[in-house]
A and B are shown apart, each in its own frame.
Chain A
Amino acid sequence: MANRSDASDQITCTIDGQEVTVPRGTTILDAAEQMGIGIVHYCYHPALSAPAMCRMCLVHMEGAPKLVPACVSPVADGAVIQTDAPLAEEARTGVLEFYLVNHPLDCPVCDAAGECKLQDYVYQEGRKHGRSVEPKRVLGQDDFGADVLYDGDRCIMCTRCVRYMREIAEDDRLCVVQRGNRSVIDTFFGEGLDGSPFASNIIDICPVGALLSKDFLHKARAWDLDRTPSICPNCSQGCNITLDTRDNLVQRLKPRHNPEVNSYWMCDYGRYRYEWINRGTAPYPYGMPAPAGLEADEGDGSALPPAALPDRATISELRLESPMMRRDGVPVPVGWQEAILGLLERLRAVSGGIQVIGSPHHGNEDNGLLKRVQEVVGGDDAVYRAARAAAEVVLPGFQKLARRRDLAANTRGLDALGFRRVGDDSAAGGLAPPASALIVLGDPLADLPAKAMADAELVVYMGAVISPTLEKADFLLPLTSFAEQEGTFTNFEGRVQRFWPALNPPPMARPAWQVLGVILAGLQDGVAPASAGDAFLRLAELYDPFSGLSYPVLGTLGSMLNEPVRLRAGEEG
């Protein structure tokens, strides 16, 4: 951003009667933001260039001949700026009236209603009644390809989408055609956004309802959604997202700002793979042929929701609802207490150590305590399987962000905990029929034949869904998925980031760290962790890469593995 000069070169100005000291070159808008004064704007976006064309951020500067646009004007030393000067307010009201000359008043059927900047600003500062008597211009809708639908009537020509495609996606597919009130955003000669792997970000940055997601179209109203901060589970980049949920179902994923990981963006690959979260499964079927979408999107990364997954009705029947224990060869539903006590008895009797299979779709706490159980009982074979794409898909304008090759959120975390990766790129194979005792977390082992478990001394499966292979397991323990519990993922570069529960789990399902914590407490006569944060602290004690970390240290932006405790006060004031 504008913050390029060195720190010693500070200047002081007055905004709305308050003095503020900022580096030379800071724009008025940024300086005001620091003081908590929001200056309204449409065309300005912190990650994009500012053309100063929406005319909403006009402010009064003493001595200037006319109002100045706050988004591009750097503050001068000693400048006295008033954002709420009568002249500025009058200008904003006037600009808003002009926007409403052609903007349809179809908020009731517009998906952006409730999160629309035009709606907000008109409500704050607009005229009560329009004076325009001319009929509104009608342009209709245009399918931009990929997931984007363009409604020309609602467009206010801020050109954020055009600039995003040019500057961040570096894939110049949009432009403004025509001039004046006839101008529209368009694609080139029928070549739409198809195949542009980061195109859907323009839906997020559109301040009004002109760019719509076809996937989200008419699905839910903005004010009905519950927004839970989370981490994108579809690759190891670990983009910060919100899970927007309604009726206990994820309706869409939205990127959340994190300057170190994903800025304001996320890829289409991750954005549209959320159906599996509602089912509690993995984004791809473990041990089955790679879903069609997985290969198709190596070129462009834009393939829409995976086609090869079973539909919701069949898979919801597979959700494990209650702890099961085998009695006389038949799995019988039991209570948690009975299941845990029975399991403890069997674990204490294990002779040759245990093998554990971790899950890259579960958090660090879950896998770490699983590893710990193995260390206590004995055995050293800790493995996991994860799907892998053929290539990365990098966002050219923000190269820290890419759809990484590992298509699971926590592969790095598992590596740090000492798990070994096995299997091929579609998360299949690599597992021999177990000979001794086995504890499986999350991985339904669907590619192993059903009788593979016959020789095992003890088979414990913990997970959300069940597969036919596991009918012979001795214990089946229902778990929550990552969206139903608190925890942390470690992304590809070793950044540990927190996620929060967004969905209600089935009544009997428990987080893995809780189940494993109770088992550990039973094995060692210790105390079980009371919360996910508590479980994470144990991790920090037990495993060097996590030492020094805790939930308060991670905060909302995450922290790198094995870093000393950083004093955030010094950085952020």
Chain B
Amino acid sequence: MGIGVKKVRRPEEGTSYVRAALKGMALTFRHLVNTETVTHQYPDEKPSIAPRWRGTHRMEVHADGRPKCVACGLCPTICPANCIRLVPGEDDQGNRYPIVYEIDEYRCIFCGMCQEVCPVEAIHVGQDYEAAEFTRERFVYDLDRLMAQDHPVTALWDPSDPLSE
């Protein structure tokens, strides 16, 4: 026995494990029957996200399958992350269209300025967050992939309340 060690005598009720165990089990049983859940069953149930939530891009398409983009070059100009690559050209009807349109979602900061600047409402940020890939190259979305995306697009403002009042 060391010098100066003080032995405290506590009452039996305070040191018994039985009481604590019962207390914990009571909590468990209470949650078992409680209807108020906070756990998301994620892959099976998707959480709802805000209408202004900005995720991976989507290119709008005309009825005949052409991209709406007119290759004006405003989105690569405004893009603060410099993640859009565009090569404009002329299609067989004399319209300006993007020969190459690529967005590097890995570099993208999802500011939504490309959607805001687009004069023909072609490029949109979307309500999509499942953007995991196995390689970095796969993060560069080409035009076909952007056109094939089918998730809802982001509403950067409420049409009925454009000034957010």
Contacts and interface: CB of A to CB of B under 8 A. Distances in A.
B70 A218 contact: no
B70 A224 contact: no
Contact of B96 (A141, A218, A224): A218
B70 A217 contact: no
A352 to B, nearest CB: 55
B77 interface: yes
B94 A221 contact: no
A219 B99 CA distance: 11
Contacts of A221: 72-73, 77
A189 interface: no
B73 to A, nearest CB: 4
Interface in B77-103: 77, 88-90, 94-96
A109 interface: yes
B70 A109 contact: yes
A218 B77 contact: no
A195 to B, nearest CB: 25
Interface in B14-63: none
Nearest to B120: A108
B96 A223 contact: no
Interface SS, A side: mixed
Interface size bracket, B side: 10 to 19
Query: Which of B73, B74, B95 has the largest number of chain A CB atoms within 10 A?
Result: B73
B10 to A, nearest CB: 79
Interface string B110-122: 0000000001100
Interface in A509-553: none
B108 to A, nearest CB: 20
A218 B94 contact: no
A130 to B, nearest CB: 16
A219 B89 CA distance: 7
B44 to A, nearest CB: 43
Contacts of A219: 88
B72 A109 contact: yes
Nearest to B94: A141
A108 B70 contact: yes
Contacts of B96: 109, 218
A221 B75 CA distance: 12
A543 B164 CA distance: 74
A223 B74 CA distance: 10
A121 B133 CA distance: 48
A230 B95 CA distance: 33
Contact of A218 (B71, B74, B119): B71
Contact of B77 (A107, A109, A141, A224): A224
A224 B75 CA distance: 12
B73 A224 contact: yes
Interface in A180-237: 217-219, 221, 223-224
A218 B72 contact: no
A107 B77 CA distance: 15
A463 B20 CA distance: 88
B120 A218 contact: no
Contacts of A217: 90
B93 to A, nearest CB: 12
Contacts of B70: 108-109
B101 to A, nearest CB: 14
Interface in A213-267: 217-219, 221, 223-224
A108 B74 CA distance: 8
Contacts of A223: 77
Contacts of A109: 70-72, 95-96
**8 closest pairs, A vs B, by CB?**
A108-B72, A221-B73, A109-B96, A108-B119, A218-B88, A109-B70, A218-B96, A108-B70
16 contacts: A107-B72, A107-B119, A108-B70, A108-B72, A108-B119, A108-B120, A109-B70, A109-B72, A109-B95, A113-B72, A141-B94, A218-B96, A219-B88, A221-B77, A224-B73, A224-B77
Given A108-B72, A108-B74, A113-B72, 14 more contacts: A107-B72, A107-B119, A108-B119, A109-B70, A109-B72, A109-B95, A141-B94, A217-B90, A218-B88, A219-B88, A221-B72, A221-B73, A221-B77, A223-B77
